[in-house]
Chain A
Amino acid sequence: MLIQFAIKNFLRQGLRSILNVLITAITIVTVIFNLSLLNGFQARATLNMVKTDVAGGHYRIAGFDLLSPTEWEDHTGLVPDSLKALPEDQKAETLILQGQIFPNNRLYPVQMRGVGPGQELLDLPLQGLKRFPEKITDQIPVVIGTKMAERTHLKQGDSVVLKWRDKFGAVDARDILVVDVVKLLNPRVDEGMVWLRLDHLQDMARREGEVSWVAVELFQGPVPDMEFHSVDDLMKDLLILLKNDRRNSIILWIILMFLAGISVFNTQILNVFKRQKEIGTLLALGVESKQVVRIFTWEGAVTAGISVVVAGLIAVPLFMWFQTVGLDVSHLEESTIPVRDAIFLEFNPFEIFYSITVVVALTILVAWLPVRKISHMDPTLALRGKAIT
């Protein structure tokens, strides 16, 4: 009976109820959208990193640190037999060395990254290197990313001098030929990077059979003289960044909840003030004050329930449309965040349930808080509309 009474009261309030429902529904939709967008961003970034660089983890030569380029050349080694035996779709041998190119006779420091031309683990568009023989002929074939091409003003078919040091410290320089300019999903493997065949780079640096790391699909157990770096280790900076983003999104979440809460709270205060005579009549008819409080609280609960339904009605077509277009994040090309194309929503059922529960609970709470004073209301004053002034 209380619920029926509450629903009738809810409907009688007209525009105020509609506004409350809309605000609460929009809050629910926005919170879910925000969380799902972050999930989508994280999923895309992680996928791009895994596909182009990280795979299932790296077995790195002990002491190798990508952030210490001056020490890369001190940490190379032969591939252990256990990793060498892996098929090409489960490993990608990689050698990283420092070099310098001279586009337009200006010095440009680069990372020379050599990967096995036959590897199938990483999704790198380096097919252009495959057609060249194992032995370097007159020019060294390389592939660069679009970002690198833009920075260095190099294009497909261009030649430029590459200078490097071999294993023994002798300086060497030769012309490289840009055989392809490719779009790489991950800017971390694009800018400042020159991609070569692993056998060419090993030959150039007189480091036959040596690598900096072996990317693998799955952990292969401990390997002597190598350190395993898991996907989480290798993407630590990105995960911290996303964690911070998630923390920042909580601020938006709190603001939205606050707005929705204020709306319901304000409506309830107005209800109690305007419906004093109704409250007084109910009390005079013998309805207990607790029951009157429950009626008003149920009105809040009804608002929350209808908001969830309306949120669903808004969210389903909105999210379906969004999944067809995505959010363009091409501006992130300027950063090192490994996302270049559009991102899409990635729904987490637990997060959706949790968000809805919190919004509903908050709505009921703020519906209950202002009506507590009904329990102390004098029925005679309430009947005359003077219980609250």
Chain B
Amino acid sequence: MLNTISKIPAQWKKTLFILTFSFGAFFSWPVFFISAEEIDANALVRAVDENLWATTKFIAGRLIIDNGRRVRTLKMDTWMQGVTRSYSVYKSPAREKGTKMLKRDSKLWMYTPRTDRKLLIAGHLLRQSMMGSDLSYEDMMEDKKLSKAYNAMVDRRETIEGKEYLVLHLIANDKTTTYQSRLGWVDPEKKIVRKEELYAKSGKLLKKVDYLDYRKIGNRLFPKKVIFRDTLKTNTQTTYVFDEIQFDVDIPKKYFSQSILKR
């Protein structure tokens, strides 16, 4: 091969070099020459959604609530169907054991074995803190994929721990969305979110969310833990650790029925 090349006249070599370079540059443009603004941010958000959301999934996890004075750990199992249905059972600590939460569309019911009653958490109750955490019931109820609720734009590139991320600016499509704007640090190659910042309508930063320790589960990348911080409070954070995740599992129909909300 090298011999063949050496036999080519010098003026042809020059032409071949230009052609080869142009060809290579053409096919490798996504990596070397794309500017942040040229990336389809909405397509990237859709890809992120596709990675995170499955038809059904099961999560065995822990909610670690640190209010600055003490740390509480709640263990729970959650079954989710799409973005609109989920059912959680708390397994520990003893005082929360047996507490169940059922979310169906825009409604959320809570059952506590102590009172043996189910309570519809509706209206403005949804804005209260969930189990004393940095999450509101409404945060938990978020039933729209980011790609549906927001219009994304690439804001800038930023490096975190040696890895370059695209910072996407998401602006709500309609005025009913709780957080009217967000910033998301997205890995354009892996299609995963590294962190998010949630903003009030005025632009004041309200919450920070970190997605950490991604691991491969099937053909998806899923974080091992998510840390929520309410930026208006100090020394508080809530960590959701996903100990076990299964995608596309069969969920018994009764799990999304109100009849499950009993002892």
Contacts and interface: CB of A to CB of B under 8 A. Distances in A.
A163 B234 CA distance: 16
Interface of B: 123-125, 127, 172, 175-180, 200-202, 204, 206, 232-234
Nearest to A167: B175
B232 A173 contact: yes
B204 A170 contact: no
Interface residues of A, number: 22
A170 B175 contact: yes
A105 B236 CA distance: 10
27 contacts: A69-B124, A70-B123, A70-B124, A70-B125, A71-B123, A71-B124, A102-B233, A105-B232, A105-B233, A106-B233, A161-B232, A163-B206, A163-B232, A166-B175, A166-B201, A169-B177, A169-B178, A170-B172, A170-B175, A170-B176, A170-B177, A171-B178, A172-B201, A173-B202, A173-B204, A174-B200, A174-B202
Given A168-B175, A170-B177, A170-B178, 11 more contacts: A71-B124, A161-B232, A163-B232, A168-B176, A169-B177, A170-B175, A170-B176, A170-B180, A170-B201, A171-B180, A173-B200
Given A74-B123, A161-B232, A174 B176 contact: no
A60 B125 CA distance: 23
Contacts of B233: 102, 105-107
Contacts of A70: 123-125
B204 to A, nearest CB: 4
Closest 3 CB pairs of A and B: A105-B234, A70-B124, A173-B200
A173 B233 CA distance: 13
A171 B200 contact: yes
Interface string A133-144: 000000000000
A194 to B, nearest CB: 16
A165 B179 CA distance: 10
Interface in A66-81: 69-74
Interface of A: 69-74, 98, 102, 105-107, 161, 163, 165-166, 168-174
A107 B202 contact: no
A152 B127 CA distance: 22
B180 A98 contact: no
Contacts of B179: 170-171
Contacts of B172: 170
A163 B206 CA distance: 9
A163 to B, nearest CB: 7
B131 to A, nearest CB: 15
A168 B175 CA distance: 6
A74 B122 CA distance: 12
Given A98-B124, A163-B206, A171 B232 contact: no
Contact of A107 (B175, B178, B206, B232): B232
Nearest to A206: B175
B217 to A, nearest CB: 32
Nearest to A100: B232
B185 to A, nearest CB: 21
A172 B234 contact: no
A171 B176 CA distance: 9
B49 to A, nearest CB: 21
Contacts of A107: 232-233
Contacts of B206: 163, 171, 173
B136 to A, nearest CB: 9
B203 to A, nearest CB: 9
B204 A161 contact: yes
A165 B127 contact: yes
Nearest to A163: B232
A71 B125 CA distance: 9
A172 B178 CA distance: 9
A161 to B, nearest CB: 5
A102 B177 CA distance: 23
| Residue of B175, B201, B206 ringed by the most chain A CB atoms within 10 A | B201
A172 B232 contact: no
A69 B124 CA distance: 9
Contacts of A98: 124
A109 to B, nearest CB: 9
B204 A174 contact: yes
Nearest to A98: B124
Contacts of A163: 200, 206, 232
Contacts of A172: 200-202
B31 to A, nearest CB: 39
Contacts of B234: 105
Contact of A171 (B124, B125, B201): B201
Nearest to A105: B234
A168 B176 CA distance: 5
